[in-house]
Amino acid sequence: MKFLEKSPPFLFFTGKGGVGKTSLACATAIHLAELGRKVLLVSTDPASNVAQVFEQKIGYEITPVTSVPGLKGLEVDPQKAAQQYRDRVIDPVKGLLPPDVIAGIEEQLSGACTTEIAAFDEFTALLTNTQLREEYDHIVFDTAPTGHTIRMLQLPGAWSSFLDDSPEGATCLGPLAGLEKQRNQYRAAVEALADGKQTRMVLVARAQASTLKEVSRTHDELAELGLNQQYLVINGMLPESEAAKDMLARAVYQREQKALSDIPENLRKLPVDSLTLKPFNMFGLEALKLLLKPDTPTITGEDLPLKHIAVSPLSVMIDELTEKDHGLIMLMGKGGVGKTTMAATIAVELAKRGFPVHLSTSDPAAHLTDTLNGSMDNLIVSRIDPEAETERYRQHVLEQQGAKLDEQGRAVLEEDLRSPCTEEIAVFQAFSRVIRDAGCKFVVMDTAPTGHTLLLLDATGAYHREIVRQMGETGMSVTTPLMQLQDPEQTKVIVVTLPETTPVLEAAHLQDDLSRADIHPWGWIINNSLINSETESPLLRKRTQQEYYQIDAVLNKYAKRTALVSLQAEEPIGVERLLKLSEA
């Protein structure tokens, strides 16, 4: 494996949820330990399953992995780290500021950016701890910091007054409040990350167009910061031998090969390794040792008993949606789970039934026109351009607030406006314009703002409170976008996931995030399931057995109503195939 050759002291594994970062990090740590090295494996993944992978408790303190001499593990709890970080920022001002101001600061510090900074706090302690450097030959990190986080750490930290002066300028600036005290430690950590002799970034992806596009963006973001020691691992490739077993396996193989042939140009220059899809879950030492092996173990799957699960198809969920003749339907979920396809499927099915439908997306990687591959009566399609909306919003904030700041403050503001939350807020404003249609027709929205963004807007008075204040008593009759999203009679939020461990856990975290904004998902869609596929591929039949646990968790733990969509042999492109998908 190229990414294992001449391994430096620090190895970071990064990529989208569900691509196998944790398994690959664990397998790498085992491999290095078996070479006689002393290794520390660190995870800051909120959906971490390192303890389950090794079948032992690890937790928040460095713990020996009993099955692997020379290997120790540490699971950093990002939420716990973020809470400790918030406490350090907020405790000194409690009692000095009004409760509503404290509440606003707490929400500023409740989002993904704060969690990133808090996790990086833990990273820096490990990267700069000379005692650990002497004790371990390698420290392997499951989940790396984003380019945005590293850039923020390169800037002087300061709590800018522009948040107090302009609610509409609310962004993720909050985390910068606590950085000043540890700037020297951060500087040393950033230097270590940029040193190719000390650090290697391993980008993990699946052979899927959406995943490869996201990895491409990550590559550019890290390279811009001087982190050029990057390697690419394509995980979970279906072996060509399985393609001859049945039509579904052949279709999956061909899709993966097409994605690889169209791989973004910047990734072609990286050292690349490919790992085959395994027929088993990555739990236990033996499974992890097999992950880095180039060949898939021979298995026989024809005699594996497969049971069908009685989960309703998507058409049943759509039946319930049509109890009214209008409303907002929002599809939410992590990247790569099929939100765009599910949104298009619901939209064309509603249009087929005679309802007027407006289908819209704010996903920069979504190609609704390509997915629909045609037009139909009762359906209009639009796209919110996140880049254009973000730039418009960014310029507005810089013009309004940048003029009040010195050069250092403006640099902090400009970097803060590059954060993911900035795009969410900008898109939310455009999104608010689109959903006005929901009073007279169905509006199906692909990709929506997170619960943190909604609360951030509300807590600072960016829209909701400002309207009520301006309208006075008459404002009580005004329905703001946030109020519309909170009303289950007006809005149906549907979470999309895959029947795999990490995507289900990430969807559950998303549901919790939305609940904080008093938005409660109406239903879940489990996409690309093998459960009822009747595949003859031994490998896919073995994979099918492992879906039962995740589907059971969705049905009995997370969702009020669930629809299951089977993995299709043909790519679900075009109105005709999308209509079939609702029954799949």
Cα(189)–Cα(539) distance, integer angstroms: 43
Q: Has 178 been annotated as catalytic?
A: no
* 21 part of the active site: yes
Specify whether 18 is catalytic: yes
502 is a catalytic site residue: yes
DSSP 91: G
Pairing mode, if any, of strands 230-237 and 272-276?
Answer: parallel
Residue in 502, 533, 544, 582 annotated catalytic: 502
What are 232's strand-pairing partners?
203, 272
| Integer-rounded Cα radius of gyration of the chain | 24
Q: Which residues contact 471 (CB under 8 A, 6 or more apart)?
A: 478
Sheet with 63-64: strands ordered across: 63-64, 71-75, 39-43, 138-142, 10-14, 199-206, 230-237, 272-276
CA-CA distance, 375 to 57, in Å (whole number)? 54
Active-site hit among 14, 23, 199, 582: 23
At position 391, the amino acid (one-letter code) is E
Q: Name 94's bridge partners.
A: 97
Torsions phi, psi for 564 (to 5 deg):
-115, 130
For the chain, the residue count is 584
> Which of 45, 77, 142, 273 is labelled catalytic?
45
Pair of tokens at residue 107? 């929400």
C-alpha to C-alpha distance for 197 and 487, rounded to whole angstroms: 54
8 A C-beta contact, residue 474 and residue 311:
no
Which residue of the set 16, 21, 278, 542 is catalytic?
Answer: 21
Which tokens sit at 171?
Answer: 């962004």
**Site of tokens 């993904």:** 112
Indicate which residue of 7, 22, 210, 535 is catalytic.
22
Q: How far apart are CA 409 and CA 163, in angstroms?
A: 12
**Residue tagged active-site, from 18, 70, 157, 336:** 18
Q: Is 143 left (phi over 0), alpha (psi -120 to 50) or beta?
A: left
The catalytically annotated residue of 15, 20, 174, 178 is 20
| Catalytic annotation present for 45 | yes
Alpha carbon separation from 226 to 21, 193, 203, 264, 415 (Å, rounded): 22, 9, 15, 20, 17
Q: Cα–Cα–Cα angle for 125, 131, 137, nearest 5°?
A: 95
Taking the alpha carbons at both ends of the chain, their separation in whole angstroms is 39
What secondary structure does DSSP assign to 416-474, as a single string?
Answer: HTTSHHHHHHHHHHHHHHHGGGGGTSEEEEES---HHHHHHHHHTTTTHHHHHHHHGGG
Residues 562 and 292: their CA atoms lie apart, in Å, by: 36
Catalytic residue list: 18, 20-23, 45, 502
